[in-house]
Amino acid sequence: MAGLALRIGVFALVGYMTMAITSWLLSGWAGYLVTAASASFAAAALANAVTLRVYERGRLADIGLGWSRGAWRNLWIGAAGGIGAALAVTVLPLVVGAASIVATPEQPGNLGSFLFVTVVLVLGALGEEMLFHGYAFQVMLRKFGLFGTVLPAAALFAAAHSGNLNVGHLALLNTFLWGAVLGFSFLRSGDLWLPVGLHFGWNWVLPLLGTNVSGFRMGMTGYGLKWNAGALWSGGDYGPEASVLTTVAVPLLLLYLWKAPVAVQRPYLLTPVGEASA
């Protein structure tokens, strides 16, 4: 138990120090989104690389980032699920007249902003998945099992978003539920590509349709979603992640992940030592 605590402590310390240094280096000239995404990616990559090398003599790929035909399949299955869930909480209100698409001249869209935000969201999804479902998550899973790991990791995921702009109780509940879904998706696939795809697909479609993401607006197209319904349905200034529609979408997303033809991988850190060396 002491050895596990030491490993997680080293992971957290390296991640924290890297995030602080990267944020300091970027804060003077990069915007908030670039700083946050870059810092989380750098922190997650270095924390995983160091602990894997020191304690497992492994590589960064061993947390579930190895590339194969199955990884490609899982990435697209995850992205399809995230995109579908995001469309469900935005297009459905459009269909029933609870929202409409309007121009946002204060945030004009162009190809440059579209590509820029897309790259930032890729970095953000990769960084957060390595951070919350990488080495520390997987060694805890090996020790404490499903519920003893997925639920605490989901609570930590929600806590990490608690300082976001316009956050509220329903937003934190939905973020916790999303954290549990992302943790389950790792268990479902045995790699990080399924949760990365899921995470990115959701985060990409919401700004594409002009809604806030976790309290922040990212202009991509020059259009936005104007709601005719209350904050319970729209999520208010936080975005659909603070909406009851997201709460309803979560169990449907779990069902999708359960039924989807996921390519099951063998997680290196969860493989018995004799099998791993065979």
Per-residue pLDDT tens for 98-127?
999 898 887 777 888 889 999 999 999 999
Q: What's the mean pLDDT in 65-75?
A: 94
What's the whole-number average pLDDT of the chain? Answer: 91
The three-class DSSP label of residue 103 is: strand
* Sequence-separated contacts (24+) of 87-96 with Cβ below 8 Å: 87/205, 88/245, 88/249, 88/252, 89/240, 89/243, 89/245, 89/246, 89/249, 90/205, 90/206, 90/209, 90/211, 90/225, 90/240, 91/209, 92/245, 93/225, 93/227, 93/229, 93/233, 93/234, 93/245, 94/225
In a domain, 225, yes or no: yes
pLDDT per position as a tens digit, 130-171: 999 999 999 999 889 888 999 999 999 999 999 888 999 999
Please say whether the beta carbons of 258 and 137 come within 8 A: no
The per-residue pLDDT for 268 is 86
Which range of residues forms the domain containing residue 256? Answer: 67-268
- Asked, for residue 25, whether it belongs to a domain, the answer is no
Give a yes or no: residue 7 inside a domain: no
pLDDT digits (tens, 9 = 90+) for 8-65: 999 999 999 999 999 999 987 878 888 989 999 999 999 999 999 999 988 999 999 9
Residue 235 lies in a domain: yes
CA distance 122 to 133: 16
Does some domain include residue 38? Answer: no
Q: How many domains does the chain divide into?
A: 1
Residues 6+ apart with CB under 8 A from 179: 132, 153, 154, 155, 156, 157, 158
Neighbours of 273 (CB within 10 A): 7
Asked if the structure places residue 2 within a domain, the reply is no
**Amino acid 278: pLDDT:** 39
Residue 220 confidence (pLDDT): 85
Q: Where are the beta strands (DSSP E) in the chain?
A: 99-103, 223-227
Mean pLDDT of 69-77: 96
User: Is 277 a residue whose pLDDT tops 90?
Assistant: no
Judge whether 6 lies within some domain. Answer: no
> Between residues 221 and 192, which one has the greater pLDDT?
192
Q: What are phi and psi of 268, to 5 degrees?
A: -60, -45
- The pLDDT of 201-210, averaged and rounded, is 93
The pLDDT score that the predictor gives to residue 189 is: 96
Q: Across residues 235-239, what is the average pLDDT?
A: 92
How much is the pLDDT for 269?
86
Is the residue at 40 inside a domain?
no
Coil, strand or helix at 16: helix
pLDDT grade for 273, boundaries at 50, 70 and 90: very low
Kindly report the pTM of this predicted structure. Answer: 0.93
